[in-house]
Amino acid sequence: MGHLEICEGLIKHINEVDDRLAEMYEEWWRVEENGRMVKEGCERVVEERVSESACNSFTSSSIIEESGPAARSYGRYRWALGVFSGAGTSN
């Protein structure tokens, strides 16, 4: 086997490795992009829940203060719903 055949074989192998690296980079980029989209979606959900929770807390406390015993019972009911709606979702 001459030097030319060895060089051609090495060039072929380098091109195969280069092609595989390009594929791996594209796959990595897709994973990164999908991860970013999931992260942003989770952040939006958390922000919505925090906003909703703050709004519900303000509304419930102002209703309870103004409306007496029936509203206090309703406030406890809403609180219990909030506590139990997250049941079973922890890791």
Mean pLDDT of 72-82: 60
Instruction: Report the alpha-carbon distance of residue 42 to residue 76 in Å, rounded.
Output: 28
Mean pLDDT of 26-42: 90
What is the pLDDT, as a whole number, of residue 91? 45
Instruction: Report the alpha-carbon distance of residue 18 to residue 22 in Å, rounded.
Output: 6
Max Cα–Cα distance, the chain, nearest Å: 98
What is the pLDDT, as a whole number, of residue 15? 96
Mean pLDDT of 39-54: 81
